[in-house]
Amino acid sequence: MRFACIVFPGSNCDVDMYHAIKDELGEEVEYVHHHEASLEGFDGVLLPGGFSYGDYLRSGAIARFSTIMKEIVKVAEEGKPVLGVCNGFQILLEAGLLPGAMKRNEQLTFICDNVTLRVEQSSSMFTNSYETFEEIRIPIAHGEGNYDCDDETYEELKRSNRIAFTYSGVNPNGSKGNIAGILNEQGNVLGMMPHPERAVDALLGGVDGIRLFKSIVKHWREQHVVNA
């Protein structure tokens, strides 16, 4: 499987994402810069964390207008997996690929910590290597991770089983319904604030994140076997 790791001005987790895919997962991955106009030949897209364009205006608000975003929207519409982590999640929200918006953390401070997540469903292409309601440990590092949406959207996310991860126990940022990650209607776009790419090696403190990437590859291979 071949991944595109998108690099915006201010991205700072792109190397972590690249390492997770190439060195830990053993799959193909290439850096693709924001000014590129094609994602031809890629099977999945990764939007890493960081501070795209310095987070001016709002986090992800300027990156949403980058040249590469038209191609990312196209990839999403084709049903290929698109994963946005932290700032990548914020960009997906700004681009309208996911519903809702991101606000400053409730405490108005930047948070860097390990948190416990609950896997709310294991039927998506991003979570099929987990058990439903399993608890995992994943790092967070953000100042604007307070996910919000109107009540109607929240009820729809619950009804359609599109909440992928929630914070278990302590909610670190005040996000609505303890939401840590959500899916689009088609189920091929995931945005999450925690960093699974930072939990792929025991030497880094944990391996719970690698199964998210394994889930994507597992789904892709199953689809290609069926369609072969």
Going residue by residue through the chain, which has 228 residues, state the pLDDT in tens, using 9 for 90 and above: 999 999 999 999 999 999 999 999 999 999 999 999 999 999 999 999 999 988 887 889 999 999 999 999 999 999 999 999 999 999 999 999 999 999 999 999 999 999 999 999 999 999 999 999 999 999 999 999 999 999 999 999 999 999 999 999 999 999 999 999 999 999 999 999 999 999 999 988 899 999 999 999 999 999 887 665
Asked if 149 and 158 count as a contact pair (C-beta separation under 8 A), the reply is no
Q: Is 86 a catalytic residue?
A: yes
Residue 101 sits in a domain of what CATH number? 3.40.50.880
Output the pLDDT for position 225: 72
Calpha distance 28→137 (Å, rounded): 26
> What pTM, to 2 d.p., does this model score?
0.96
Please give the tally of structural domains in the chain. 1
Output the pLDDT for position 187: 98
Output the pLDDT for position 226: 64
Cross-strand bridge partners of residue 30 = 4
Q: Which residue of the set 34, 142, 195, 219 is catalytic?
A: 195
Q: Which residue of the set 27, 86, 144, 149 is catalytic?
A: 86
Q: Which residue of the set 34, 120, 197, 219 is catalytic?
A: 197
Full residue range of the structural domain in which residue 45 is found? 2-227
- Return the closest-CA partner of residue 91 out of 6, 157, 173: 6
Pairing mode of beta strands 44-47, 28-33: unpaired
Calpha distance 193→139 (Å, rounded): 9
Q: Is 195 a catalytic residue?
A: yes
Q: Is 106 a catalytic residue?
A: no
